[in-house]
Chain A
């Protein structure tokens, strides 16, 4: 098994780890008393989240009028934030499902945290449409069921309703996928624990014993979930893009939106994974599991998706000109030269130009630059959604209704509050579950551990096994 790894593949687990050391390294953070940094982080996150919760209550109590939306710009920060968070929620399932199918071994270092991040990001995203309803107590109206309200049915023709289905399906499958992966790891935590803690983790691991039958069923379930999750990676942001693209608004109605939104979502998702993982690996000392190779691979994904997004931006721009349709042409002129020109340039600069730095290998492997860039891309992708939403709406067909929009403190507070929620959940996750998938790291150790492959390998295997089934290759 371990004999057939290309000599140019770098190791993905460093530090000559044994199976026991892997368990120690990855599970012990859940057993220690939290560090000061963690407590400080939690206090900060919870405070920010509390302020966000206050702003949400303020909105619900006083109404949507506390936001600065108006007749012309009726979607603003709310939907921008919604799309932004949903986009961030894409990396986890991409890593766990699509990279699994493509047998990318480096996924094992980051999949657990990325999936957790996905779930938290989708939770943050889901808040916005709910608050945006104005009368949140009527939220159950989005569920199609026989009722006594007329009967008042949902509009099945509306992409907003498709969103409800797409996102709830995505959330459910992501959660199941994440939890399935956690079951054997929870069992490992349980095996090291005592007392109440042991009981809790035993419950969480469904009484996992590690028998062959358990593993077999676990593998089967993972495969089925990966199969279901793969189309979901594409469908969620496709349907979010339909919210815009099914309209007849110039700048929104364009057929490239579905794949372009998906590429952008993966782009921003990876940026957020990097932001979190660079901090996490430092604080928890996981540099042997989330190595520079992992960082470099993710930076490559960022470079690729950033460039795909760049192709899409330029396609839109070009086709707007090519269409010969004056409203389409104006929509793009307005983006680049209208009142929100700064957000268009912010978007282009952060999303298309700056990732090009990652063509240079040493920069892809630079932790500080990567961290800085990941923040940059998160900002850029927020700008992208703002450009699509607010900029387009600000200049509609009727110049007398043209308008300008800037958020109130309530809108800013809610956005910042969702970040508080996100980090609160992530910090709790770091304490209760292994941040790196223990069982999966063990599964790749013999093909990717630095003592088995790469320049420092101690267990060398004969290299010259070329074309071994060739009977008479001396005659060539």
Chain B
């Protein structure tokens, strides 16, 4: 079978998951304790950026493989093509965030508050980057570019299936599109990550932040690829995807989990070592107020893949691969939680504080982790993911798989005219 049909249980489960997500989001909205709905919006931002990044990374990896003459994965490259169809979904979600920020219907970002910016010399200095206009237009231009590249690549790949001769003209054209995409992605992903994620902590900055977040996306993408392939194999599809391919995906998961840790450590250690108050506040807050997530992040995203996947055989067995992929996927979702929620919480608390006391509060004090009124307060949805966060994630994941499987069912599973297909079918590690 070279064709996937999306029906039956798969459809029911993904739609069910989406319903769970919608219900969770509605509940979040209606049980929301504050009138800013920060819990709802931060969940929305968390999952939108996370899944948009994963789909962009799937496309990025296709581009990398083509540019690097890597042939081993071409047997299942349609899976990545299908995953990258989610860029359009992510684009729409980010547009929602950008528009609601533009119209001040959410309060995720401290810098979006013009009154606060006027008071604050540091935020005032960042005004020409951190402002709702650029947030909106930057998102449209950059994510729009990703979507255009993704669709172009997909259509070239489908056209290639129709080719009769062996001149590989389509492949050459794909190579050009891929090569051009790489530097665009290199610059633009950083700009987006600063804007969407780092600016949640509007005062804080770190040059490595964007690379760390991007690697997080990449690892999560590999996890979902492994899980999806295992699912498709369980349905009797992709018999050509052998243990050899899974082994290589396992190696990528292993290697890039270490690479992620390298990024995490480089950022943490340098900030810890230099001990500059403006910088340490970020990690101090997370270590003191979020100790479980802070250490679980390292344990799940480093220790588990490192020790489980170190052996040869665990990378070749679907059970152990699925186990690690699932855990690490959740681990990176938690990493994003930890990147977003503390900043959002401070922004919300400051806003509440101002409203309650009718006076301006210097925001910087809160970001330095010494905000007296909120210190050590435990709050589901902010300091730890609750059921609603989980439900929202399940909803986004359901949508992600729904879109992926729909795209997958639109084309043959194997791109039969890919120039590396023969190599990939006979791949052995």
Which residues of A approach B to under 8 Å, CB–CB?
Answer: 3-9, 101-102, 231, 234, 238, 242, 245-248, 253-259, 300, 304, 307-308, 311-312, 314-316, 319, 322-325, 359, 463, 465-470, 472-473, 476
Contacts and interface: CB of A to CB of B under 8 A. Distances in A.
A248 B280 CA distance: 13
Nearest to B70: A102
B206 interface: yes
Contacts of A234: 262
Contact of A311 (B166, B187, B258, B426): B187
Contacts of A3: 426
Contacts of A258: 208, 262, 266, 270
B385 to A, nearest CB: 26
Nearest to A8: B419
A324 B125 contact: yes
B187 A468 contact: no
Return the 9 tightest CB-CB contacts between A and B, nearest first.
A256-B207, A255-B208, A324-B122, A4-B426, A258-B266, A324-B125, A246-B273, A8-B419, A255-B267
A41 B207 CA distance: 45
Contacts of A5: 422-423
A42 B187 CA distance: 45
Contacts of B266: 238, 255, 257-259
Interface centre among A3, A308, A323 (most CB of B within 10 A): A323
B205 A323 contact: yes
Contacts of A248: 274, 276
A467 B412 CA distance: 11
Contacts of A324: 121-123, 125-126, 203
6 contacts: A238-B266, A307-B182, A322-B129, A324-B126, A465-B425, A470-B240
A9 B273 CA distance: 48
A386 to B, nearest CB: 20
Nearest to A248: B274
Interface centre among B123, B186, B208 (most CB of A within 10 A): B208
Contacts of B179: 359
B232 to A, nearest CB: 15
Contact of A315 (B3, B171, B210): B210
Interface residues of chain B: helix, strand, loop or mixed (majority): helix
B426 A322 contact: no
Nearest to B212: A255
A403 B3 CA distance: 71
B240 A467 contact: yes
Nearest to B210: A315
Contacts of A322: 126, 129, 194, 205
A22 B383 CA distance: 65
B207 A255 contact: yes
Interface in B207-229: 207-211
B18 interface: no
B2 A473 contact: yes
A468 B239 CA distance: 11
Given A4-B422, A6-B423, A259-B262, 8 more contacts: A5-B422, A6-B420, A312-B207, A325-B278, A359-B179, A466-B416, A469-B240, A469-B425
Given A255-B270, A258-B262, A465-B425, A307 B186 contact: yes
A463 B207 contact: no
B271 interface: yes
Given A256-B207, A324-B122, A476 B190 contact: no
Interface string B161-184: 000001010010000000100110
A8 B187 CA distance: 30
Given A246-B270, A248-B274, A307-B186, A259 B425 contact: no
A315 B207 contact: yes
Nearest to A465: B422
Interface string B247-273: 000010000001000110011011101
Contacts of A476: 2-3, 412
